[in-house]
């Protein structure tokens, strides 16, 4: 079988003693090492508030474990989590490390067609507006003048219309 790298995150009941969390982590380490795996990293985040309640708990004790092993170890750990009442949530994922590199982005020349039209499919180039020879440019718009002490202008009086009656002619 192939040896893979796994990451397991589990959340325990926040009311259990820290010694109980230590015992659980030691059991997990023992399961991994008994099945020819190796623990690579252990990170205890401690007690944190969860975004939503899980089994009636708003807080939980988070632990993250990284290890390399074969696939049956994951099944054994999931069985341990299912039978342990203090574990309220767990997740194990296989870590895939790729050494893929990406080429640098292609820089478009300043006068190229893609640079002018934006390079998006289906887009059109922006129209260029050239004034006719001898035309003067329009004046810049002036900002409105606000007089702070002036009373607001009165609205024009509304003209009351009489409703039309059916059958009446004008």
Looking at every residue in the chain, the average pLDDT score rounds to: 80
C-alpha distances out from residue 143 to 52, 140, 146, Å:
52, 9, 9
The length of the chain, given as a count of residues: 170
Q: What is the average per-residue pLDDT within 142-159?
A: 63
Tell me, rounded to whole angstroms, the distance of Cα 64 from its chain centroid.
Answer: 21
- Please, how many CA atoms are within 13 Å of residue 40, restricted to the half-sphere of its CB? 11
Pick the CATH number of 4-95 from 3.30.230.10, 3.40.50.720, 3.50.50.60, 3.30.70.60: 3.30.70.60
d(CA 127, CA 114): 14
> Has residue 120 got a pLDDT over 70?
no
Q: Tokens 């993250």 sit at which residue?
A: 64
pLDDT at 127: 65
Burial class (CB in 10 A: 0-12, 13-18, 19+), 93: exposed
Q: What is the average per-residue pLDDT within 147-160?
A: 61
> Has residue 92 got a pLDDT over 90?
yes
Please tell me the least confidently modeled range out of 23-37, 59-73, 154-168: 154-168
Q: Where are the alpha helices (DSSP H) in the chain?
A: 18-34, 71-83, 113-117
The pLDDT > 90 percentage for the chain reads 48
> Has residue 164 got a pLDDT over 70?
no
């Amino acid at each position: 079988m192939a040896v893979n790298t796994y990451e397991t995150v589990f959340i325990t009941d926040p009311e259990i003693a820290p010694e109980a969390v230590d015992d659980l982590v030691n059991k997990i380490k023992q399961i991994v090492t008994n099945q020819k795996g190796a623990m690579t990293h252990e990170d205890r985040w401690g007690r944190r508030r969860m975004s939503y309640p899980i089994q009636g708990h708003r807080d939980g004790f988070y632990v993250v474990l990284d290890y390399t092993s074969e696939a049956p170890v994951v099944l054994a750990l999931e069985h341990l989590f299912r039978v342990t009442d203090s574990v309220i949530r767990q997740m194990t994922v296989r870590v895939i490390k790729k050494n893929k590199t990406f080429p640098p982005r292609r820089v478009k020349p300043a006068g190229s067609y893609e640079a002018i039209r934006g390079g998006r499919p289906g887009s059109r180039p922006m129209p260029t507006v050239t004034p006719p020879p001898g035309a003067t440019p329009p004046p810049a718009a002036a900002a409105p003048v606000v007089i702070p002490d002036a009373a607001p202008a009165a609205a024009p009086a509304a003209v009351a219309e009489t409703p039309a009656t059916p059958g009446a002619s004008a």
